[in-house]
Each structure stands twice: as structure tokens, then as C-alpha cells.
Structure 1
Amino acid sequence: MKIDGEVTTGMGKAEFFLSQEFYINEFKKNLGFIPYPGTLNVIVDAKYLHDINEIKNNCKNIIKPDTEFGAVKYIRAILNDQIDGSIVFPAKTTHEENYLEFIAEEKLREKLNLNDGDIVSIEF
């Protein structure tokens, strides 16, 4: 599945969670990289929500911490046909369901010179 979406500024909470050693170790083990401490937030059109929710609900890739932090489902994805990473679906989130959070090894806004309102493609 390949979808387009609009880059938007998040709430800045992912930096804290992606800096936790438990998440770092699990993503390194399961995805092969240590994610940059932050997500690229992408707003997608409502027409994709059914398919995205189907993928999320059937996703078997899950990180379950032993602490008060929430579980995170993840699925490998490619941003703009060039950046390997993952879409993460945190169990505890304040985002609307049309927000996707993409993680990668690098700070994507800098690497791809992205700004709010830019359109990106995500394939998963």
C-alpha cells in the first residue's frame, strides 16, 4: 500500500519515548536501527483510514514494555521511495487517527528538507 500525506508538526512527545532505553533496544533488535528521537508526523486523507486501521489491528509486531509506558505496534515502511523506517502505532496517543508517525534512523525533516505542508509518500 502506498499513500500520500501532509507533513505536520507533532506535539514533541515522541522524543521522550524514543529516548527510553527499552524502546531503543527493541527497535534496534526488531528493525535493525536506532530511531532518531522523534517522529515525522504525516496527516493522511480519511479515504485511507479503513485500510490503515485494518493494518494496525492485524499487526503482530508489538513492543510491550514492562513499565508504565504503553505498547507500540510497528510496521516497516518506506518514505518517499528512499528512506527505510517504520510506521509506529502507540497504544497511548493523543493524535487523531489520521496521523501517521514515521520513525527512521535520521532526522527526516533535515535530511529531506521537509516543512509543514509538504507532501510525502509512505509505502508499507
Structure 2
Amino acid sequence: MTFERKDSAIRIKGKVVEGLREAGLFTQIPWVRRQFMEKLSIDPYPGTLNLEITDPESLQLFKDLKATPGIEILPEDPLFCSARCYPVLIHGKLKGAIVYPLVESYPENKMELIAPQNIKEVLLVATGDILEVEVMKGEKGE
């Protein structure tokens, strides 16, 4: 996956928080993994890293981002919802993607990140730490 850094890149900060521990199973469902690999060039590490966005500027940037089409993950099972994904560079070091489930009740300040490796281990971050994600432009972040 090729990422291009731009001066006008969207940068969003959030605090690492614990999730519901459901994404580990979701990211390993064959049709989900296949779409992440085909559409984002990411074979996801099981699970997501959750960020809580609290600062007003980052929250507005995140809302604006979610209003754009993104890269769609379409469910092959009616029990699942669609999602929009956005390629990102996590903390300036790790390529990944935001996964935003298209569920009406989904918290507006919650961001879920996938990457090919365990984000916490690679970036040496823990719950409560602040991370910055930089949204990459173009299909697959190219």
C-alpha cells in the first residue's frame, strides 16, 4: 500500500480506550478480511484499536470525514452492517485504516482502527495515551 503525505492532510487526535472486545472476531470473518485486503491492501490483525475523540477540532474533522464516501465494506451476511473505511497513517508510523460502522446508534466520537499488526504493541501505546491519525488521500491511500 502506498501512502502519500500531504501538507493539507487531515490529522485527528484521540485517546486510546478499551473496546467491547467484539472486533477480533469481526476482523477475521473471511468476507470481511477479503474486502479489507482487496479494498485497503490490509490483512488485519485480529481486532481494532479504539480512540475516543474529545477535542472539538478533531471531532469536527472526524465528522467531516465521515460525511465523505470512503471505501465501503459491504456485508455478505444480513446480520452485519456496512462500514466506511479511510486509509490512515497511525502516529506517523503504521499504515492502517479507520473502520466506521454504518449503525445509527454508533457513538460519533468513537474511532476504530485496523492495521496489519497489533497497534498497541508496534507503537508501544496503552489505554489513556493520545494517538494521532493522518488520513491519506486517494483510493487505498494512494
Shared fold by TM > 0.5? yes
What stretches of structure 1 of length at least 5 have no aligned partner?
none
> 2:63 aligned to 42, 53, 58, which one?
53
- Structure 1 segments of 4 or more deviating over 3 A? 92-95
Q: CA RMSD in A?
A: 1.6
User: In structure 1, how many angstroms separate the alpha carbons of the residues matched to 2:20 and 2:105?
Assistant: 9
| Contact kept? 1:75, 1:88, Cα under 8 Å | yes
User: In structure 2, how many angstroms separate the alpha carbons of the residues matched to 1:43 and 1:92?
Assistant: 17
What stretches of structure 2 of length at least 5 have no aligned partner?
1-9, 136-142
1:47-84: CA deviation from partner (whole Å, max 9, x where unpaired):
13333122112224111112121111000011110101
Aligned-pair distance for 1:94? Answer: 6.1
Aligned-pair distance for 1:4? Answer: 1.7
State the match for 1:2 in structure 2: 11
1:74 corresponds to 2:85: yes
Partner AA of 2:17 in structure 1:
T
Q: Secondary structure at the match of 1:62?
A: strand
State the match for 2:43 in structure 1: 34
TM-score, length-scaled by structure 1: 0.91
Q: How many residues of Structure 1 are paired with residues of Structure 2 in the alignment? A: 124
TM-score, length-scaled by structure 2: 0.80
Aligned-pair distance for 1:33? Answer: 1.9
